[in-house]
């Protein structure tokens, strides 16, 4: 959340706090299981406790934070079972979204994805985990959003939000970054050749490989 106060704020204080907290969690700045110190955050973001509480309630509904009576809010800590369930639901929903997106193929679709992929590769080569996680997210959500089904996109985005912190942890390993780059290229190649079946299969493999790797990097108490 560095430089948060200096940036132009969204329309309301609650939106500002929500954006900052969500970013800190999904980037891994606030790690799974970490306590959320409300007084310190309110002072740091220069807001009252009211918008902070409202933002925390919204994040709790998204599954990014949990509240413990008499203890306060903590960044959500996923179990392996939770993680596998989320990825299974993602597979079901994303297959529908991507299949429709590939059927529609809006103008400049492949070129847009290829441009984002170049950002993924630059971040991977630089070892910039935060930038790679962000570019990877944009690659997939750009692909999904092309389905033209906003309710479906919102559901998938919520699932992504709940696991972004773990995805950042995954990208700390150079081998995982390299594998993601290779798999993205394979998906792009399938899209270029209008091979929907292969693109969907490669995306299934991509998600499965991520789950396998995340099993190994999750802290012992979470597995």
pLDDT per position in the chain (223 positions), as tens? 555 444 544 468 888 988 888 878 877 788 888 999 999 988 998 999 899 999 999 888 877 889 999 899 999 887 788 889 999 999 999 999 999 999 999 999 999 999 999 999 999 999 988 889 889 999 999 999 999 999 999 999 989 988 877 777 788 889 999 999 999 999 999 999 999 999 999 999 999 999 998 887 665 554 3
Q: What is the pLDDT of residue 1?
A: 58
CA 214 – CA 193 distance, rounded (Å): 31
Structural domain harbouring 93: 80-222
Residues 42, 100, single domain; the answer is: no
Q: What is the pLDDT of residue 70?
A: 86
Q: How far is CA 101 from CA 47, 72, 141, 182, 192, in A?
A: 41, 42, 11, 22, 13
Residues 56, 130, single domain; the answer is: no
Q: Is residue 213 part of a domain?
A: yes
Residues 67, 119, single domain; the answer is: no
Residues 45, 110, single domain; the answer is: no
The domain boundary, picked from 75, 90, 120, lies at: 75
**CATH number (domain holding residue 42):** 1.10.10.10
Neighbouring residues of 4: CB distance < 8 A, sequence distance ≥ 6: 20, 44, 45
Taking a C-beta distance cutoff of 8 angstroms, is the pair 186, 81 a contact?
Answer: no
Residues 99, 199, single domain; the answer is: yes
Q: What is the pLDDT of residue 144?
A: 97
Q: Is residue 7 part of a domain?
A: no
Residue 216 CB neighbour total at 10 angstroms: 10
Q: What is the pLDDT of residue 96?
A: 97
Q: What is the pLDDT of residue 131?
A: 87
Neighbouring residues of 112: CB distance < 8 A, sequence distance ≥ 6: 142
CA 79 – CA 219 distance, rounded (Å): 10
Q: What is the pLDDT of residue 79?
A: 78
Q: Is residue 1 part of a domain?
A: no
Q: What is the pLDDT of residue 223?
A: 39
State the total domains in the chain. 2
Residues 68, 132, single domain; the answer is: no
Residue 92 structure tokens:
């079901």
Q: Is residue 165 part of a domain?
A: yes
Q: What is the pLDDT of residue 171?
A: 84
Residues 70, 98, single domain; the answer is: no
Residues 140, 114, single domain; the answer is: yes
Taking a C-beta distance cutoff of 8 angstroms, is the pair 13, 47 a contact?
Answer: yes
Q: What is the pLDDT of residue 76?
A: 83
DSSP string for the chain: -TTTTTSPP-SSHHHHHHHHHHHHHHTTSS-TT-B--HHHHHHHHT--HHHHHHHHHHHHHHTSEEEETTTEEEE----HHHHHHHHHHHHHHHHHHHHHHHHH--TTHHHHHHHHHHHHHHHHHHT-HHHHHHHHHHHHHHHHHTT--HHHHHHHHHHHHHHHHHHHHHTTSHHHHHHHHHHHHHHHHHHHTT-HHHHHHHHHHHHHHHHHHHHHHS-GGG-
The domain boundary, picked from 75, 98, 123, lies at: 75
CA 16 – CA 21 distance, rounded (Å): 9
């Amino acid at each position: 959340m560095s430089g948060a106060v200096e940036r132009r704020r969204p329309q309301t204080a609650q939106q500002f706090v929500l954006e900052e907290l969500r970013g800190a969690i999904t980037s891994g700045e606030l790690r799974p299981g970490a306590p959320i110190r409300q007084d310190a955050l309110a002072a740091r973001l220069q807001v009252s406790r009211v918008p902070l509480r409202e933002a925390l309630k919204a994040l709790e509904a998204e599954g990014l934070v949990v509240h413990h009576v008499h203890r306060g809010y903590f960044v959500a800590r996923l179990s392996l079972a939770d993680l596998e369930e989320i990825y299974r639901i993602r597979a079901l929903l994303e297959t529908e979204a991507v299949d429709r997106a590939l059927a529609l193929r809006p103008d400049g679709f492949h070129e847009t994805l290829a441009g984002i992929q170049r950002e993924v590769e630059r971040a991977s080569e630089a070892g910039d985990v935060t930038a790679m996680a962000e570019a990877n997210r944009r690659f997939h959500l750009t692909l999904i959003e092309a389905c033209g089904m906003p309710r479906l996109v919102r559901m998938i985005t919520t699932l992504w939000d709940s696991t972004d912190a773990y995805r950042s942890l995954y990208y700390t390993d150079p081998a995982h970054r390299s594998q993601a780059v290779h798999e993205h290229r394979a998906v792009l190649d399938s899209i270029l050749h209008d091979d929907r079946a292969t693109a969907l299969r490669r995306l299934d493999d991509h998600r499965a490989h991520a789950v396998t790797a995340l099993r190994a990097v999750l802290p012992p108490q979470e597995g």
